[in-house]
Amino acid sequence: MSNQTRGKGSITRRSFVGASAAAMATLALTGCQPETRLKKTEEEPKGAARDKELDPNVEGKWVTACCNNNCGGMCLNKVYVVDGVVVRQKTDDTTEDSMAAPQLRACPRGRSKKQHTFGVDRLKYPMKRKNWEPHTGGKKELRGVDEWVRISWDEALDIVADELKNTIDTHGNRAILYPGQVKGNITGVINALGGAVGSITSGSMGTAVYHSTVMGQPLMGIGEQNDRTDWVNADYLVLYGCNQAWASPGTYMYYFNEAKKAGVQFVFVGPEYNVTAAHFNAKWIQVRPGTDTAFLLAVAYQMFKSDEAQKGSVIDWDFLAKYTVGIDGNSMPADAKVNENFHDYVMGTYDGQPKTPEWASAISGTPPEDIVFYADMLKRDNAVTTLRSYAAFRTNDSDDANYLYMAVGLMGGHLGKPGHAIGEAYHNCAGSCMDTIFNLGASGAPAAPKNPITDIVNDPEQWSAILTGTFNSRGPWPTCPPENRKDIDTRLIVFTEASPMNTLLDTGSAIEAVRKVDFVFSTARSYTTQAQYSDVVLPVITEWEKVGDLRGGSVMTLKNREALIAATQVCEPLFEAKSDKQIAKELAAKVGLNADELFPLSDEQEFFNMLAGTTMKSPDTGEFVPFLTITDDDISSWGVEGKPQEGVISLSEFLDKGIYKVERKPGDVYTYYGYQDFIKDPTANPRETPSGKFEIYSQTKADSLNAAGYTKDGFVWKPYPTYKVPVNGYEASFADFANGVKGDYPYQVFNPHYLRRSHTQFDNLPYLRQAFANPVFISSVDAAEKGIVDGDTVRIWNGKAQSLRPASVTERLMPGVIALPHGPWVDVDKDGVDRAGAENLFTSPATSGFGVAGYNTNLVNFEKYQGDALEEDYLVPQRIPSIQE
């Protein structure tokens, strides 16, 4: 394609690049030197020809621009488009900020999206690795460091089609692997060709994903919590290892603020007194990473003890009897195989070790009096809302931690009534998860062909599967048991819509594995790690180039219960980038499939179908009704098929505004309490467990954990929650734990989800690099011991890797714990030193329990770096491939 005017805007690509470069130069100056910018403006020659898009007299249009990055918000982003170019951006000014309808204001990432779409690092056309050769990969060891050659789409898709066919013909479909949380159209095409080995992930939720349903919580542990308008009714609001200010922007913080104003006491549990905890002046209950099981067992112990001492005023025994099984020997479930129970274990009947606050404190680092405080807080007369995210569960051997989190809440009877909840604060739903107000319509596109290959590799095992040629394939959900040990000979890797080299455990092995196979291809918007290590890279459009996007409603469709946001196209696809669907469609044709059958609908038709099918719970009747009014004129102007309908708001008004918010009123039809139906009538609305109740004793849990085959140290899982020393956890930081002798890697490290990025997305953006330095956070106690001050370059290492990062010294971390933010793009220099702080270089697939990715149980050492100080990330040139035209 040449530099032709294209699409809706009337700007040529050449003039666009010039304009956006000019706009960026101005913005770069605004960032650091306002006085310079003023001077520059004054110096501009009067009457000089201006680019139209920079001329305030030329009118543009506000467009709602999609912002959806697996980030934890669902914010309104609007961009002002003049002549096809985005010149300004704003966020939600559609309502006053109020409890009834808080503003959905964008975070710094959303406000930087302009650089994501229009940045100079956008990949412009397909490219192939210079030393790649068909079917063998050529010089495979050069993956990641090779140069690139620009190729046409035709050639790129010919190569991909040929490599797919050759791999399938020579080695079979099991030789293809989709690593990471892959989605998408391209994998659908490969499925139509016979499929590939897929992957299973514990991802965000760690051990909670497996156990929650077994115990009685729905939705992989997302569970149920009260409508967030209820938080004001709590006496205590517990943030159990969450950090909403960083990891769930959007409206969480708004409702927390309201709760704070109403006098709610905040409590935070975790290793770092993070910004959210600090903002609400929370009481800090210190717990080292991966030690929550010990902490919570001691909380249970203390509750039993105080209840005895205070004659039943702590534990709600009637509640336990009605809604749970297994608290003690009097309430065993019918399927129990072991004559042991939770109460007696906690008291030390079976192992001689009462799980006292002092016992837990030696492991979790929690002062015993804080364990007593927590137990006292949970007593039944207090209104306690506990909210957890999943940081505590992205740890090895925390398989009983979510059980305990639930169990101690149930002991206080904190469920199903105002102010009481044992809930979670999942970023995907920005507060209220269940009981939807909007249900999004279906796109009408046929479901992607199913993957005929039934072998599935557990995420932590993907790189070792490639390197060793064996893996445990998936058995009955959720296990990958040892009897499913299988051979695998991976020859081709597909990287699309995930960043597994950066985000799965053990990035070093990822690099090795990727260099082993015959062919690797990826889709990418910029030069991500996956793109860097591929043979062929296919440039894909960003959200802003898509025809439209509809978000909101429920936890599964992201993110905010009370709002729907419809984004519309900001600009036509840039350069030669194509949508995933377009790429898949063209690939389908290349491999001889019927592309029109696989992808029959236009993007407009799919977007229209989603809009037309969306329903809303009526504020008057509580029944779901069509959301949009659609006319014959709408249908003909869209050029789609459909029927007119009556709804709550017209299609054109909704798309113009880009947002529809439901105003909340106290006691309205949208009010709910977690598990309210079960609490009202547990027989008519049983939990999905063998007993129909919450199971503090769960035979299913014990049986499946023991069958999973990941626990290698001889430990036997019990049906009730017990303590297991975690692999790579606190105890492993000692050479001799009993005598307090530290080992080679004496520091625990966890990975906060960091504001500069959404996982790996945006890591390359200069605005965000300037705003967020991506340091390693170190406790002031540890820093003082090592002579490290704020800003010093620190070397972090363990047996697998070493990285450099600037230190951020803080009093808000427990000594012995460092925090290395999640998601930077791995950047290993010629000496083997990573300069980005890519956290998964340090993690290892030492999975245990159900085989989860134990990201937050990990050990390292660190010191002040003696070499040249690291330059700040924003001074490092953006990662842009050098390409031969």
Of 732-771, which residues contact ligand SF4 (CB under 6 A)? Answer: 758
Task: State the residue number with the nearest CB to ligand MGD.
Answer: 241
**From the CB of 544, what's the least distance to ligand SF4, in Å?**
12
How many angstroms from the chain centroid is the CA of residue 261?
A: 30
Q: Where are the alpha helices (DSSP H) in 13-152?
A: 13-32, 34-43, 108-111, 113-118
**Residue written as token pair 């039944």:** 380
Establish whether the linkage from the previous residue to 478 is cis, with ω within 30° of 0. yes
Composition of the chain by helix, strand, coil, percent to 5: 35, 20, 50
Per the CB < 8 A criterion, the answer to whether 254 and 97 are in contact is: yes
Tell me the one-letter amino acid at 587. Answer: L
Taking the least distance from each CB to ligand MGD, the nearer of 356 and 499 is: 499
Name residue 415's amino acid: L
Smallest gap from Cβ 856 to ligand MGD, in A, equals 4
Name the E strands within 599-656: 615-617, 624-626, 628-629, 649-650
- Under the binding rule (CB under 6 A), the answer on residue 497 touching ligand MGD is yes
* Of 106-114, 229-237, 492-500, 765-773: span binding ligand SF4 (CB under 6 A): 106-114
Counting Cα atoms < 13 Å in the Cβ hemisphere of 865 gives 22
- Lateral strand order in the sheet of 659-661: 548-552, 563-568, 659-661
Nearer to ligand SF4, 253 or 501 (CB): 253
- Cis amide prior to 559 (ω within 30 degrees): yes
Near ligand MGD in 563-602, by CB under 6 A = 580
The C-alpha atoms of residue 657 and residue 30 are separated, in whole angstroms, by 30
Which of ligand SF4, ligand MGD, Mo ion, none interacts with 75 (beta carbon under 5 to 8 A by kind)? ligand SF4
The smaller minimum CB distance to ligand SF4, of residues 84 and 552, is found at 552
Query: Of the listed pieces 90-98, 202-210, 542-550, 815-823, which binds Mo ion according to CB under 5 A?
Result: 202-210
**Least spacing, CB of residue 398 vs ligand MGD, in Å:** 7
x-marked contacts with ligand SF4 along 51-70 as a string, rule CB under 6 A: ----------------x-x-
Phi, psi of 582 (to 5 degrees): -60, -45
User: Which of 85, 107, 282, 504 is close enough to bind ligand SF4 by CB under 6 A?
Assistant: 107
**Out of 15, 117, 191, 204, the residue judged to bind Mo ion by CB under 5 A:** 204
Question: Is residue 75 part of the contact set for ligand SF4 (CB under 6 A)?
Answer: yes
If we measure between CA atoms, which residue out of 793, 782, 79, 167 comes closest to residue 535?
167
Let me know how long the chain is: 885
For position 298 contacting ligand SF4 by CB under 6 A, the verdict is no
What is the rounded end-to-end Cα distance, in angstroms, of the chain? 14
Is 234 near ligand SF4 (CB under 6 A)? no
CB neighbour class for 183 (10 Å; exposed up to 12, middle 13-18, buried from 19): middle
- The token duo for 116 is 């994501």
The interface region with ligand MGD, picked from 147-155, 565-573, 744-752, 869-877 by CB under 6 A, is 744-752
The greatest distance separating any two alpha carbons of the chain, rounded to the nearest whole angstrom, comes to 90
Q: If contact means CB under 5 to 8 A according to the sort of partner, which of ligand MGD, Mo ion, ligand SF4, none does residue 274 touch? A: ligand MGD
Stretch that binds Mo ion, among 89-97, 139-147, 166-174, 198-206 (CB under 5 A): 198-206
Please give the Cα distance from 290 to 848 (Å, whole number).
13
Least spacing, CB of residue 463 vs ligand MGD, in Å: 14
Stretch of 246-254, 415-423, 465-473, 621-629 lying at the interface with ligand MGD (CB under 6 A): 246-254
Q: How many CB atoms within 10 Å of residue 489?
A: 12
Stretch that binds ligand MGD, among 188-196, 522-530, 620-628, 789-797 (CB under 6 A): 522-530
Looking at residues 357 to 416 of the shown chain, list those that interact with ligand MGD (rule: CB under 6 A): 389-392, 394-395
Tell whether residue 556 is a contact of ligand MGD (CB under 6 A): no
Which entry of Mo ion, ligand MGD, ligand SF4, none binds 74, CB below 5 to 8 A by partner kind? ligand SF4
Q: Could you please report the per-residue DSSP string of 713-738?
A: SS----SS----PPTTSSGGGEEETT
Angle between helices 13-32 and 34-43 (to 10 degrees): 130
How far, in Å, CA of 316 to CA of 168, rounded?
Answer: 61
Task: Please count the residues of this chain forming the interface with ligand MGD, following the rule CB under 6 A.
Answer: 59
Amino acid at 748: Q
Q: Which of 101, 192, 287, 493 binds ligand MGD (CB under 6 A)?
A: 287
- Chain contacts with Mo ion (rule: CB under 5 A): 204
- Chain contacts with ligand MGD (rule: CB under 6 A): 70-72, 180-181, 203-204, 240-243, 246-248, 269-272, 274, 287, 289-290, 292, 389-392, 394-395, 427, 496-500, 503, 523, 525, 528, 540, 580, 750-755, 757-761, 822-823, 839-840, 843, 855-856
- Chain contacts with ligand SF4 (rule: CB under 6 A): 67, 69, 71-75, 106-107, 109-110, 249-250, 758
